[in-house]
Amino acid sequence: MANLGVAIVRQYQRGVVFRFGKLRNVRDPGIRFMIPLADRMWKVTLRTVTMPIPSQQVITRDNVSIGVAAVAYFRRVDPVKSIVEIEDVSSAVSQIAQTTVRNVVGRSLLDQVLTDTETLNIQIKDILDGLTQQWGVYVLLVELKDIELPAGMQRAMARQAEAEREKRAKIIAAEGEALSANRLAEAADVISDHPIALQLRNLQILAEIAAEKNSTIVFPAQFLESVRALTRFVEGEAGRGAASAPELRTRREPVGSSSSVPV
């Protein structure tokens, strides 16, 4: 129908009209009439295009070979430039996107690629947007979606992560021991001032152990206390006996002197 002078431009399209090979104008959506055989229309879609960037091998700045795949979103904002300035805009964007991804990732360290992908995405997007403006294309977004690491690097990173977790576990355990030691020292000071607290603690432990009712408990605390009490009693009695012996001898001496008869 375009050769007959009638064309339908959809809502998401723009029609670029050439008359005898020379740019005439841009037609908006709707039914558009042209001069038959003189005018020729190229329809340009303005919808956002999702373009996958295939995986490619990239050597990072720290000499690690990785595979990087990405995806780019762009749309044509200038129908005239997208036709006049370049032959195949989709192929051009694809090729320049692959080159830009390879260059940006190659200038970065592996850790930055793995942990700071948002910054890399912004850098790639800005570079692509600056290059494609002359083609009437606006790059909305670029995302690194797949990063393939060598098997050896994956094992090394796994060991590193495991060592890091063990390090944190040991630090946490040491901090717990330090806090526990401080609390035990404070408890020991309280128990030393109040000896009955130790006995109460022993009874509490007995109650916790006896809750299961599946064991026989021998608790020698009372026996030891009884031995200590008996030892103190014996020592006290021995001390009082040693003190009373001189007094008894003193009382007996006057009786012997009174019974003597002078000659």
253 φ, ψ (degrees, to nearest 5): -65, -40
Report which DSSP code applies to 14.
E
Name, of 1-15, 81-95, 228-242, 245-259, the range with top average pLDDT: 81-95
CB 119 within 8 A of CB 129: no
pLDDT tens per residue across span 47-77: 999 999 999 999 988 888 899 999 999 999 9
Under the banding of pLDDT at 50, 70 and 90, the label for residue 259 is very low
CB burial class (10 A; 0-12, 13-18, 19+) of residue 64? middle
- The pLDDT tens digits of the residues spanning 98-114 come to 999 999 999 999 888 88
- Of 78-87, 201-210, 254-263, the poorest mean pLDDT is in 254-263
Where on the phi/psi map is residue 121: left (φ > 0), alpha (ψ -120 to 50), or beta? alpha
In the predicted model, what is the mean pLDDT of residues 167-195?
Answer: 80
Reading across the β-sheet that carries 49-59, which strands appear in turn? 49-59, 65-76, 137-148
Tell me the average pLDDT across 204-227. Answer: 65
Which residue, among 48, 47, 45, has the nearest Cα to 9 in the 3D structure?
A: 45
What is the spatial distance between Cα 131 and Cα 106, in angstroms, rounded to a whole number? 19
Residue corresponding to tokens 């404070």: 186
Instruction: Provide the residue ranges of all domains of the chain, joining segments of one domain with +.
Output: 6-45, 48-149, 152-194
Query: Is a pLDDT exceeding 90 seen at residue 97?
Result: yes
| More confidently predicted of 83 and 261 | 83
Contact assessment for residue 140 and residue 121, using Cβ atoms and an 8 Å cutoff: no
pLDDT, greater one: 144 or 3? 144
Instruction: Write down the pLDDT at residue 153.
Output: 78
Domain spanning 48-149: CATH superfamily? Band 7 domain (3.30.479.30)
Radius of gyration, CA atoms only, the chain: 49
Q: What is the pLDDT of residue 262?
A: 44
Nearest alpha-carbon partner for 137 in 193, 199, 94, 187: 94
Q: Parallel, antiparallel, or unpaired for β 49-59 and 22-27? A: unpaired
Mean pLDDT, range 151-173, rounded to an integer: 84
Q: Are 57 and 67 in contact (CB under 8 A)?
A: yes
DSSP 227: H
Q: Which of 117-126, 161-170, 246-255 has the highest mean pLDDT?
A: 117-126
Banded pLDDT at 257 (limits 50, 70, 90): very low
Instruction: Identify the pLDDT of residue 217.
Output: 64
Three-state DSSP class for residue 7: strand
